[in-house]
Amino acid sequence: MPTPTPIQSIVITLIQCLLVVIFVFVVVPLTVFAERKVLGHLQQRLGSTRVASGHVGVTGWMNRGMWKWGRVPVLSYWRGIPGLVADVLKLILKEDILPDKADKFVFFIAPALSMVAAVVVFAAVSFVPGVFFIFPTWFPYVGGLPVSGGIADINVGLLWILGVASVGVYGIVLAGWASNSKYPLLGGLRSAAQMVSYEVPLAISLLAPVVLSASLNFGEMSARMAIGLPFWGLVPQILGFLIYLTCGFAETNRLPFDMPEAENELVAGFHTEYSGMKFGFFYLAEYINMTVVAALASGFFLGGPWLLPFGLQGLVNPFLPAFLSWFGEPHAIFFVVKIIFLLFTYIWVRGTIPRYRYDQVMSVAWKYLIPMALFNLLLAALVRCFAV
């Protein structure tokens, strides 16, 4: 395999970035659409069905035919799909309102901040260990060169992820403050307190994998967590996963912890005064954050690119017959499927349970999650000390 020159590796990295951004911008609108449909099914309705006209196009023609035939058209179910595009178009075309009394610069920079912080995390996420694919030889300039599974193979990847992700909170706080309005201010305050509180148990719950795998590199960690642990590694992994997921809900402002934008209390929270694409950035950032949290959860706890979660893969692999060996190897597809499952879980939870009150959210973090996370860390340390 040829080694790339420095310029070639820069080009490869740029292509990787492009791929990741494409991945993100494909997953996010699909999540938005899936949220409508899944919530619809949870609530015994169809979700969005009304974007495409019932009178134009092939579906419209078939729909009309079915109505005439006396049947309820099944096709109408998918007529919400153009909503994927319509949503984005709406956000882009809407007037971008700048409140008179707002702090103009901060008001402008806040959505960008949360957006950038959300996307940049993906730099350290490794989709698959080693080589992801090799450019075909006909590819100009970089033909025949390998592409690794992650953009940046940082040896302190976890620190990078935690550090950058926590910059995202500044976007929300600054948005709340810069709007110079009361509801956004309350939303910003809430988010400041909430996200700072939840970052503590989140980080501690992520320390357990660090201890178990003795690494901070995303790829190495997910590999060791998936196939390098003994049976005893299961317990801290499962407990850690539950704590991590709870904190992840809080970090991404999703129900039941959507305090900063609690619709029925603070109208829209920190982004009340935002419109157009600035609001769109917050919207995107929320969904990208969800994807990030899902990616980390699947990387550290659910076995990453391996099939089975919680380190079960390592226990099963020795007994795997040869004809099933494909299931014993890492594949990016497993990783993505896990992310999708976790995104579904987000929507599922949203459709099922009510919202906590603000003080209860804080007490959940400080009274329950942090002690539990510490206990989990202790468990992980014991496993590390005696069983590995």
Q: Which residues bind other proteins (CB under 8 A)?
A: 39, 42-45, 182-183, 186, 190, 255-256, 258, 262-267, 350-360
Query: Residue 161 or residue 347: which is nearer to other proteins going by CB?
Result: 347
Output the smallest distance, CB 183 to other proteins, in A. Answer: 8
Output the smallest distance, CB 193 to other proteins, in A. Answer: 10
Query: Residue 267 or residue 336: which is nearer to other proteins going by CB?
Result: 267
Output the smallest distance, CB 168 to other proteins, in A. Answer: 23
Do residues 224 and 213 make contact, with C-beta atoms less than 8 angstroms apart? yes
Query: Residue 183 or residue 244: which is nearer to other proteins going by CB?
Result: 183
Output the smallest distance, CB 351 to other proteins, in A. Answer: 5
Question: 3-state SS of the chain: helix, strand, coil percent to 5?
Answer: 70, 5, 25
Output the smallest distance, CB 90 to other proteins, in A. Answer: 20
CA 138 from centre of chain: 35
Output the smallest distance, CB 186 to other proteins, in A. Answer: 7
Query: Residue 50 or residue 182: which is nearer to other proteins going by CB?
Result: 182
Query: Residue 90 or residue 357: which is nearer to other proteins going by CB?
Result: 357
Phi/psi for 179 (5° steps) reads -65, -20
Query: Residue 272 or residue 313: which is nearer to other proteins going by CB?
Result: 272
User: Which of 187-191's residues contact partners 24+ apart within 8 Å by CB, and which partners?
Assistant: 187/259, 187/260, 187/261, 187/262, 187/266, 187/268, 187/269, 187/270, 187/271, 187/272, 188/260, 188/269, 188/270, 190/259, 190/260, 190/262, 190/266, 190/269, 190/358, 191/253, 191/259, 191/260, 191/269, 191/270
Phi/psi for 67 (5° steps) reads -60, -45
